[in-house]
Amino acid sequence: MTITALDRPGGPSPAGTDLAVMADGLVKTFGEQRAVDGVDLAVRPGEIFGVLGPNGAGKTTMLRMLATLLKIDGGHAEIFGVDVAREPHVIRQLVGVTGQYASVDEILTARENLWLFGRLQGIASKRARRIAEDLLAQFGLQDAADKPIAHFSGGMRRRLDLAASLITRPPLIFLDEPTTGLDPRTRGQMWETIRGLVADGCTVLLTTQYLDEADQLADRIAVIDHGRKVAEGTPDELKTAVGDSTLQLLLSDPDSVPAAAAVVRRILGSDPVLSPELGRLNVALEQADLAADVLIALRDSGVSIASMNVAKPSLDEVFLALTGHGTEEEENR
């Protein structure tokens, strides 16, 4: 089951200039390595577009090329119809960039940071101060406004970093792994903030390693691996390919794997995924409820289970379902 439809079925692809981001065959090479290897992207105005991929997939590299932070080695990119390679100065006025690692000044306070970035973008001192004040309030940073960033927690740093990208209210925001390393509560707050940006009329291009984050936030998702796009679609389309949840089974007797696989095929009409670990198999489920049907059928067939668990599909399973191979670790077994 591979999603090949790169355009959403039904919706005609918008004309090139109407897109927020249009990338055509983007390439970046580092020596021998093709970190980004011919990626096409079409981000529509007003949507949250998620780029999903494991470590080293080329997410950051792609975003940095689009943000004019890295030279584009091949292909072509436009943002709101402006050529990225030819007019970097204009692109920098259109895009607010929040990188994977906080890019704020450690020695300055939060308030000073926001003022500095405002001034550097040509905002008069007084107005820059007022914008800084508003952003500090919006991101719940007033209490820490006069502390040096060096004393900030990871979550506070992230929020300040995002605030710093919004000073001129750019129409397009890049977020590179906005919630990696955040605790669940802070993560939820960040999601709310990102949805708020879109409600205000921004377009968001974000990267993530988490399927659930892409699912929660993104209108459309591109899955990339080894610098190539392996799938693109709405979260629903991807989930149909992967299943809503996964039943993870450990059999008491590793030799009963073929029998168990036959049962799964009979009940669900699809094959389970065999894990490298002996006697372990993962079953993609369209709904978690189907787990019960599988378990009952297994007991009826006399296949004994040592342990079981129903979980959200991992990125690895997405890859397996979409590409027929796993992520790096899985592949090197």
Ligand X SMILES: Nc1ncnc2c1ncn2[C@@H]1O[C@H](COP(=O)(O)OP(=O)(O)OP(=O)(O)O)[C@@H](O)[C@H]1O
In Å, how far are 28, 59, 115, 205 from 34, measured between CA atoms? 6, 13, 39, 22
CB of 99 to another protein, least distance (A): 5
Select the residue interacting with ligand X from 37, 41, 48, 53 (CB under 6 A): 53
93 binding another protein? (CB under 8 A): yes
Select the residue interacting with ligand X from 16, 30, 169, 212 (CB under 6 A): 30
Question: CA angle, corner 56, sides to 53 and 62, nearest 5?
Answer: 75
11 binding another protein? (CB under 8 A): no
DSSP letter, residue 226: T
283 binding another protein? (CB under 8 A): no
Distance in angstroms (rounded) separating the CA atoms of residues 52 and 306: 34
Which is closer to ligand X, CB of 165 or CB of 245?
Answer: 165
Select the residue interacting with another protein from 107, 236, 276, 333 (CB under 8 A): 107
What, of ligand X, Mg ion, another protein, none, does residue 288 touch, CB below 5 to 8 Å by kind? none
CB of 164 to another protein, least distance (A): 7
Distance in angstroms (rounded) separating the CA atoms of residues 153 and 141: 11
Which is closer to ligand X, CB of 177 or CB of 215?
Answer: 177
Across the strands, what pairs with 96?
173
Sheet containing 21-30: which strands, arranged edge to edge?
A: 33-43, 21-30, 74-79, 82-83
100 binding Mg ion? (CB under 5 A): yes
CA within 13 Å, CB half, 200: 14
Which is closer to Mg ion, CB of 60 or CB of 193?
Answer: 60
76 binding another protein? (CB under 8 A): no
What, of Mg ion, ligand X, another protein, none, does residue 75 touch, CB below 5 to 8 Å by kind? none
Q: What are the backbone angles phi and psi of residue 61, rounded to the nearest 5°?
A: -60, -40
Specify whether the CB–CB gap between 220 and 20 falls below 8 A. no
102 binding ligand X? (CB under 6 A): no
Residues 6+ apart with CB under 8 A from 300: none
Binding site for ligand X (CB under 6 A): 30, 35, 53, 55-61, 100, 209
